[in-house]
Amino acid sequence: MSAPLLSIRGLKTCFPTRAGLVTAVHGVDLDVYPGECLGIVGESGSGKSVTFASVIGLVRPPGFVAAGAINFEGIDLRTLGSDGWRGLRGRDIAMTMQDALTALNPALTVAEQIEEVILAHAGDLPKRGRREAARQRAVEMLRLVGIPAPEARIDDYPHQFSGGMRQRIMIAIALSCRPKLLIADEPTTALDVTIQAQVLDLISELRRELGMSVVLITHDLGVVAEHTDRVAVMYAGQIVETAPTQQLVEQPRHPYTRGLIGLIPKLSDLDAPIRPIEGRVPELIDLGGVCRFYERCEFRKAACQSDIPMNHVAPDRQARCLRIDEIPPLKEVSQ
């Protein structure tokens, strides 16, 4: 396999709160390879968004990255100064936020918001008529993401667009400098399914066209199954399983992943009962010395009361579980 584009090792991100220090991300190791689409799946509070906010240097104070190494194309992102970030964010790494309405500036037109990025980063604009060239490129971006009549709509404000269209505008801004890595944080959560399908198809198409890597953060395993190559499942601040997507949905190995898949209602088998995972996610304060899924796990044993490392299941699969070899495989989903 080629060298990873982004490499995260031992990432730990904390937030001081009145109740104590919350470790939202605890020891995350992750690689993103050129051209792949990596899915990050987990429930709210599992640390999936915080992991990538840490990568792009946007952890909101008083939160802070406490430990770990983040490497993007040989650059150590943790030591990057604000000038370094300015050259990188928007150009090589771009991120789309979950809520397109609050992420776009309501007081600026769409044209101003896309041109700003292009003027800041694109080195190949002609000296004369830079603004016209930037506007031209902004129109092209809007056309690329499927906004009808982009020349006419580009001077509109965000509120004049529907939710799906706003999400497309965010994608247009993120892609306007052809980044090597796009981080898409829940890009379709607020959208209806028919619009969601349009936006996700668009991201997949653009990925192939531009040859970029995509990290797709979502809580929806269905989205992961249809749109990603590889997936990492997060639970309570840790990655509990990584695997090629098809293998993960058909033969999940970690008890939490098995649970997640067991509780999704399947349209192909209406009689299959949905089995809830009982209990709740633990508070992320002073955890340690026990598997984080211990309280809810149907396969737990005494030895699980220790810090569990990631164990190799297959060359490209890992799971944070001591008992992967003993747990019987789940009935294959597609039968």
Partner 1 sequence: MTQAQTPPLLEVSQLSKTYHLNTSVLQRLAREPVLSLKAVDRVSFFVRAGETLGLIGESGCGKSTLARVVLRLHEPTSGSVVFDGADITKLPYREMTALRRRMQIIFQDPYASLNPRKSVLEIVGLPMAIHGIARRSEIRDRVVAMIESVGLKSEYLNRFPHQFSGGQRQRIGIARALILNPSLVVCDEPVSALDVSVQAQIISLLKALKRELGLTYIFISHDIGVIGHVSDRIAVMYLGEIVEIGPSRDLLKAPQHPYTKALLSSVPRIDVRQKSERVKLAGDLPSPLSPPTGCKFHTRCPFVFDRCRVEAPVLRPRGADSAAACHLLEAP
Q: By the criterion CB under 8 A, which residues form the site for partner 1?
A: 43-44, 162, 164-165, 192-198, 200, 219-227, 246, 249, 259-261, 263-268, 270, 274-278, 280, 333-334
Find the helix or strand (DSSP H, E) in which 49 lies: helix 48-55
Closer residue to partner 1 (CB): 175 or 224: 224
Which C-beta is closer to partner 1: that of 184 or that of 225?
225
Compare residues 72 and 161 and give the one whose CB is closer to partner 1: 161
- CA dist 190 → 45, 52, 101, 228 (Å): 18, 20, 10, 20
Distance CA 16, CA 88 (A): 28
Helix (H) or strand (E) holding 206: helix 193-210
Q: For residue 269, how many C-alpha atoms fall within 13 Å in the half-sphere facing its CB? A: 11
DSSP assigned state of 304: G
Q: Which is nearer to partner 1, 107 or 193 (CB)?
A: 193
Q: How crowded is the C-beta side of 333, counted as CA atoms within 13 Å? A: 19
Packing angle of the helix pair 130-144, 110-121 (nearest 10 deg): 120
Could you tell me how many helices (H) and strands (E) the chain has, helices first?
A: 11, 12
Query: What's the closest the beta carbon of residue 266 comes to partner 1, in angstroms?
Result: 6
**At closest approach, how far in Å is the CB of 259 from partner 1?**
7
Task: Say how far apart CA 39 and CA 188 lie, in whole Å.
Answer: 14
**CB 250 to partner 1: min, Å:** 9
User: Can you list the positions of beta strands (E) in 33-81?
Assistant: 37-41, 64-72, 75-76
Q: 7 vs 246, which CB is nearer to partner 1? A: 246
Helix intervals (H) in 122-192: 130-144, 150-153, 163-175
Closest distance to partner 1 from the beta carbon of 123 (Å): 36
Half-sphere exposure of 131 (CA within 13 A, CB side): 2
CB 12, min distance to partner 1, A? 24
- Would you state the structure tokens that stand for residue 76, as one six-digit string? 């150590």
Could you tell me the smallest distance in angstroms from the CB atom of residue 224 to partner 1? 8
Structure tokens at 332: 């294959």
- Could you tell me the smallest distance in angstroms from the CB atom of residue 164 to partner 1? 6
Instruction: Compare residues 125 and 195 and give the one whose CB is closer to partner 1.
Output: 195
| DSSP code for 320 | S
* CB closer to partner 1, 211 vs 329: 329
Nearest-approach distance from CB 6 to partner 1, in angstroms: 25
Closer CB to partner 1, 263 or 314, in the complex? 263
